Amino acid sequence: MFSQRTQGLRPSPIRAILSVIDRPGMVSFAGGLPASDMLPEWSGTVSPEVLQYGPTEGEADLREAVSDNLRSLGLDAPPERVMILSGSQQGIDLTAKLFVDPGTPVAVEYPTYLAALQVLRFYGAGFVELGSPAAERAGVAYIVPTFANPTGACATDATRDRLAEDCLRTGTVLFEDDPYRDLVYEPCDRTPIAARMGGGSWIYQGSFSKTFAPGLRLGYLAASEDLFRHLVVVKQATDLHSSRLSQRIVHEAITAPGWTSRLENLAGFYRSRRDTFEAALQRHLHGLASWETPQGGLFYWLRLDQPIDTRTLLGEAIERNVAFMPGEEFSPGEPDLGTMRLNFSHAGPEEADRGLATLAELLRRPS
Amino acid sequence: MFSQRTQGLRPSPIRAILSVIDRPGMVSFAGGLPASDMLPEWSGTVSPEVLQYGPTEGEADLREAVSDNLRSLGLDAPPERVMILSGSQQGIDLTAKLFVDPGTPVAVEYPTYLAALQVLRFYGAGFVELGSPAAERAGVAYIVPTFANPTGACATDATRDRLAEDCLRTGTVLFEDDPYRDLVYEPCDRTPIAARMGGGSWIYQGSFSKTFAPGLRLGYLAASEDLFRHLVVVKQATDLHSSRLSQRIVHEAITAPGWTSRLENLAGFYRSRRDTFEAALQRHLHGLASWETPQGGLFYWLRLDQPIDTRTLLGEAIERNVAFMPGEEFSPGEPDLGTMRLNFSHAGPEEADRGLATLAELLRRPS
pLDDT digits (tens, 9 = 90+) for B159-170: 999 999 999 999
d(CA A162, CA A93): 26
DSSP letter assigned to residue A172:
P
**Percent above pLDDT 70 for chain A:** 96
pLDDT confidence bin for A20, thresholds 50/70/90: confident
Q: Residue A222: which of A79, A358, A361, A118 has the closest Cα?
A: A79
- The whole-number pLDDT of residue A193 equals 98
Gap from B2 CA to chain A (nearest CA, Å): 13
Torsion of CA B230, B236, B241, B242, to 10 degrees: -70
Q: What is the pLDDT of residue B28?
A: 86
If pLDDT is split at 50, 70 and 90, which confidence band does B13 have? low
Are B214 and A33 an interchain contact pair (Cβ–Cβ within 8 Å)?
yes
Is the pLDDT at B151 greater than 90, yes or no?
A: yes
Does residue A265 or residue A43 have the better pLDDT? Answer: A265
B53-87, pLDDT tens digit by residue?
A: 899 999 999 999 999 999 999 999 999 999 999 99
* A137-162 mean pLDDT: 97
Q: What are phi and psi of B281, to 5 degrees?
A: -60, -45
Average pLDDT over residues A265-290: 96
Mean pLDDT of A97-101: 95
Average pLDDT of the residues in A272-301: 97
A321, B49: Cβ pair inside 8 Å?
no
Predicted confidence (pLDDT) at residue A367 exceeds the cutoff of 80? no
What average pLDDT does range A249-274 have in this prediction?
94
Judging contacts by C-beta atoms under 8 Å, the chain A residues touching residue B241 are 217
- Tell if the CB–CB gap between B23 and A342 is shorter than 8 Å: no
Lowest mean pLDDT: which of A49-53, A117-121, B98-102? A49-53
pLDDT band at residue A46, thresholds of 50, 70 and 90?
low
Tell me the backbone φ, ψ of residue A129, rounded to 5 degrees.
Answer: -80, 130
* Binary contact (A122, B237; C-beta < 8 A): yes
* pLDDT beyond 70 at B297: yes
Is B215's CB within 8 Å of A23's CB? Answer: no
- Report pLDDT digits (tens) over A239-254: 999 999 999 999 999 9
Torsion over CA: B26, B31, B35, B40 (sign)? negative
pLDDT at A42: 64
pLDDT at B33 over 90: no
CB pairs under 8 A between A and B: 302
pLDDT band for position B27 (50/70/90)? confident
In percent, how much of chain A has pLDDT > 90?
81
pLDDT, residue A323, reads 93
ipTM higher than threshold 0.90: yes
Task: Give the pLDDT confidence score for residue A4 in this predicted structure.
Answer: 85
Closest CA to B201 of B98, B59, B93, B117: B98
A258 to chain B: closest CA residue = B40
pLDDT at B177: 98
The pLDDT value given to residue B251? 95
What does the pLDDT read at residue A3?
A: 85
Nearest Cβ partner of A32 from B35, B343, B354? B343
Least confident piece of the model among A144-153, B3-12, B299-308: B3-12
* Lowest-confidence pick of A118-132, A320-334, B9-23, B185-199: B9-23
CB A309 within 8 A of CB A92: no
Residue A13 confidence class, pLDDT cut points 50, 70, 90: low
Chain B residues in contact with A11 by the CB 8 A cut-off are none
B42: pLDDT strictly greater than 80: no
pLDDT > 60? residue B50 = yes
Cβ within 8 Å of residue B281, ≥6 positions away: B291, B300, B356
**Nearest-CB residue to B239 (from A123, A217, A341):** A217
The lowest-confidence range among A161-165, A168-172, B344-348 is B344-348
Per-residue confidence (pLDDT) for residue A240, from 0 to 100: 93
Q: Are B150 and B330 in contact (CB under 8 A)?
A: yes
The DSSP string of B155-172 is --HHHHHHHHHHHHHHTP
Contacts of A351 in chain B (CB under 8 A): 27
Report chain B's mean pLDDT, rounded to a whole number: 93
Q: Which residues of B touch A246 (CB under 8 A)?
A: 243, 245-246
pLDDT above 60 (res A169): yes
Across the range A18-26, mean pLDDT stands at: 76
Let me know: does A30 contact B114? Beta carbons within 8 Å: no
Taking an 8 Å cut-off on Cβ atoms, the answer to whether B52 and A213 are in contact is yes
Q: What is the pTM of this model?
A: 0.94
A330 contacts A111 by C-beta, under 8 angstroms: yes
Least confident of A30-34, A117-121, A349-353, B106-110: A30-34
Report which of residues A168 and B329 the model is more confident about: A168
Q: Is the pLDDT of residue A79 over 60?
A: yes
**Local confidence band at B6 (pLDDT 50, 70, 90 cut-offs):** confident
pLDDT of A43 above 60:
no
From the list A102, A244, A347, the residue facing B29 with the nearest CB is: A347
Please state which of the ranges A182-186, A214-218, B24-28, B319-323 shows the lowest mean pLDDT: B24-28
CB contact under 8 A, B27 and A253: no
**Cβ atoms within 10 Å, residue B274:** 24
Q: How far is CA A209 from CA A201, B228, B238, in A?
A: 26, 27, 16
Report the residue from B51, B118, B346 with minimal CB separation from A213. Answer: B51
Q: In what order do the strands lie in the sheet with B202-207?
A: B82-85, B219-223, B202-207, B173-177, B140-143, B105-108, B126-129
| Mean pLDDT for the stretch of residues B231-243 | 94
Residue B15 binned pLDDT confidence (cut-offs 50, 70, 90): low
